[in-house]
Structure 1
């Protein structure tokens, strides 16, 4: 791991920060993007040229390509590209503004897509690499009051699953990370709430209004960051990396329910086939 070079978006906090700290301590080089360079000034001071910081808002799509191109030009081979930048948007679909909807999709889904599209020519040219996409168990299971957050994560997971099949022949592996709740500050500082509508008071969707006061999560962010880093040494790349007992439980329950519902329609699905010629 120590000889590798990583590109990670959103390294000012959360998993991005934890991964960057661990990688730098192990001697790796990290190209880390943040919206405010001051947020990583301490890491730059401590590690010098090991850290290549760049200011970037992933919703600025032309800037995404420019920064990714610059990172490869400056650092040469980049072994692992991590899409970490993102945030949670919570509230019933009707409570959200058009601007909130667009920004959630642009940040969590389209921004990640554009990072990958910018990196792929470089990864192909160097003969391979690894793409890691931070998602959540909410990319496979859902809760009321998080419809747009789930939309962004289900969308990026579909993109990454297809991408993995497109680029495997170039030696590029793709892993979707499915963390459960972790003590990263996601609920307190990394999430945004819609303006509540009285019509949703007392409904299941209103439960998310108390997300910032919810009990502490069970996940250890340092252990999760270490697991993500370790996964990049596995060949072939794991398609999904489930982190946290809560993540496993929510995903298992959701997939079991979906499969059971599908099985009930095995016979009826066939009734719409065209007659065999």
Structure 2
């Protein structure tokens, strides 16, 4: 996807990775539609030209507003080449402590919001013959941890949706990448977090320890926002896109540990898994890869598999 300047739509542009992405894009001469719940937070962005930046108010928990903003941006700027779905926040605390309202709001923001955004932008991308969708997930989308259960639920959900979506839209020339950042100084445990009501029952547990460290700002953050933003833009503008992109040494280590442990558990259960087949006990074993309803094997699930466009 190299060539002339592109038009990008970025949600959650007021701070953190979203703002770093908009800053990086403007510095490269790209045209950006930047959205935030409060567009006044975008007033100090300095594009190189008056035409380079388009801003709008967007609450990703409102499906109708999502569709309207996407349509308005496409109309105002002519097209949308890349969508970066970045809006989100972290709910920190034990799962039992989270109120129903907190759970619902976390799901609407981090999971159903990105789904509605993808649905709104896909007709535009299909009509123009291709494009890119970049979904910001987290290392928490590959490995659960105490104190972030609801947050992890949204990220695991996002990963499943966009992995499936990638296979659905590949034939339209649309590439999908799931970005999995590690910790950054103004991200997960910065201003974009919410705490559950503390319960004495969880005092001293791993969830409570994480909660206290997040509350006091005592968790180390390894990621550099500017470098992460540059890496995302580089990948999004490359000739091919990876299905997943890990950012940060902590993300790499956490995801690797999680995948290694899950694979080890799976291998230990191989005999049990085979014993539940219809033909169990007749001496036969599966010898072909899993084939989906399309008749294709899961090639896009292989580590390192890449998509065109």
* Same fold, judged at TM 0.5 (above): yes
Q: Which among 265, 269, 286 is matched to residue 265 of structure 1?
A: 269
Instruction: Determine if contact 2:182/2:223 at 8 Å carries over to the other structure.
Output: yes
Residue 48 of structure 1, CA deviation: 2.4
CA separation in 2, counterparts of 1:47 and 1:195?
Answer: 46
Please show how residues 233-272 of structure 1 align to structure 2 within 5 Å: 233-272=237-276
Please show how residues 1-277 of structure 1 align to structure 2 within 5 Å: 3-43=5-45, 47-210=49-212, 211-212=214-215, 213-275=217-279
Residue 47 of structure 1, CA deviation: 4.4
Residue 185 of structure 1, CA deviation: 4.5
Taking structure 1 as reference, are residues 265 and 216 closer, same or farther at Cα in structure 2, changes over 3 Å only? closer
More helix as a share of residues = 1
Q: How many residues align?
A: 277
Unaligned runs of 5+ in 2: 283-309
How big is the alpha-carbon RMSD for the aligned residues of Structure 1 and Structure 2? Answer: 1.5
Residue 25 of structure 1, CA deviation: 1.6
Residue 273 of structure 1, CA deviation: 1.0
Instruction: Determine if contact 1:24/1:47 at 8 Å carries over to the other structure.
Output: no
SS in 2 for 1:3: coil
Unaligned runs of 5+ in 1: none
CA separation in 1, counterparts of 2:219 and 2:205?
Answer: 20
Residue 113 of structure 1, CA deviation: 0.5
CA separation in 1, counterparts of 2:206 and 2:71?
Answer: 45
CA separation in 2, counterparts of 1:185 and 1:172?
Answer: 28
Question: Which consecutive segments of 4 or more residues in structure 1 shift more than 2 A?
Answer: 44-49, 233-236
